[in-house]
A = this chain, B = another copy of it.
Amino acid sequence: MTNSELSTSFFLQMAAIIATCRVVGWIVRRWLGQPQVVGEMIAGVVLGPSLLGALSPALEAALFPADSKKLLYVGAQLGVGLYMFLIGLTFDRGEFARGAKGAASISFGSMLAPFAVAAAMTPWLIGVPGLFGAHVGQSQAALFLGAAIAITAFPMLARIIHEQGIAGTRLGTLSLSAGAIGDAGAWVVVAVVLASLAPNFGFNLGPGTMLAVKAGGGGLLFAVVMIAIAPRLLRPLETMATKHGLNETLIALALVLFLLAAWAMDAAGMHAVFGGFLLGTAMPRGRFATELREKLEPFATCFLLPMFFTYSGLNTDMSVLAHAGLIGVTLAILAAAVIAKGGACYIAARLSGESHADAMGIGALMNARGLMELIIINIGLTHGVIGPALFAMLVLMAIVTTLMAGPLFTLFCGRHGAKPTPARPLTAQS
Across the interface, do A18 and B259 meet the contact criterion of CB distance under 8 Å? Answer: yes
Bound CA span A19–B298, Å? 23
Task: Determine whether the beta carbon of B247 is less than 8 Å from that of A7.
Answer: no
Determine how many copies of this chain the complex contains: 2
Asked if A416 CB lies within 8 Å of chain B CBs, one says: no
User: Are the CB atoms of A303 and B255 closer together than 8 Å?
Assistant: yes
Instruction: Tell me whether A7 and B252 are in contact (CB under 8 A).
Output: no
Instruction: Tell me how far the C-beta of A421 lies from the nearest C-beta in chain B, rounded to whole angstroms.
Output: 10
| A303 cross-chain contacts in B, Cβ below 8 A | 255
Give 1 or 0 for each of A26-43: 1 = CB within 8 Å of chain B CB. 100000000010000000
Are B74 and A244 within 8 A (Cβ)? no
Evaluate contact between A3 and B423: CB separation under 8 angstroms. Answer: no
Q: Are A299 and B302 in contact (CB under 8 A)?
A: no
What residue of chain B has the Cβ atom nearest to residue A262's Cβ?
A: B11
Contact B6 A74 (CB under 8 A): yes
Give the chain B neighbours of A169 by CB distance below 8 A: none
* CA distance in complex: A21, B12 (Å): 30
- Contact call B263/A11, Cβ cutoff below 8 A: yes
**Which of under 10, 10 to 19, 20 to 34, or 35 or more describes the interface residues of A?**
35 or more
Evaluate contact between B301 and A6: CB separation under 8 angstroms. no
A116 neighbours in B (Cβ, 8 Å): none
Query: A191-216, CB under 8 A of B: which get 1 and which 0?
Result: 00000000000000000000000000
**A77 beta carbon closer than 8 Å to chain B:** yes
Mark interface residues in A361-390 (1 if CB within 8 Å of B CB, else 0): 000000000000000000000100000000
Any B CB within 8 A of the CB of A267: yes
Q: List 23 A-B contacts (CB under 8 A).
A: A3-B69, A3-B382, A6-B73, A8-B266, A8-B267, A10-B74, A10-B78, A11-B81, A11-B259, A11-B262, A12-B259, A15-B256, A15-B260, A18-B255, A18-B256, A26-B249, A71-B74, A247-B424, A248-B302, A248-B426, A255-B303, A296-B299, A299-B300
Chain A positions within 8 Å of B, measured between CB atoms, are: 3-4, 6-8, 10-12, 14-15, 18-19, 21-22, 26, 36, 67, 69-71, 73-74, 77-78, 81, 244, 247-249, 251-253, 255-256, 259-260, 262-263, 266-267, 272, 295-296, 298-303, 382, 423-426
In addition to A6-B74, A18-B256, A70-B70, 16 A-B residue pairs with Cβ atoms within 8 Å of each other are A3-B69, A4-B266, A7-B74, A8-B266, A11-B81, A11-B259, A18-B252, A19-B252, A21-B252, A22-B249, A22-B252, A247-B423, A248-B423, A252-B302, A295-B295, A295-B299
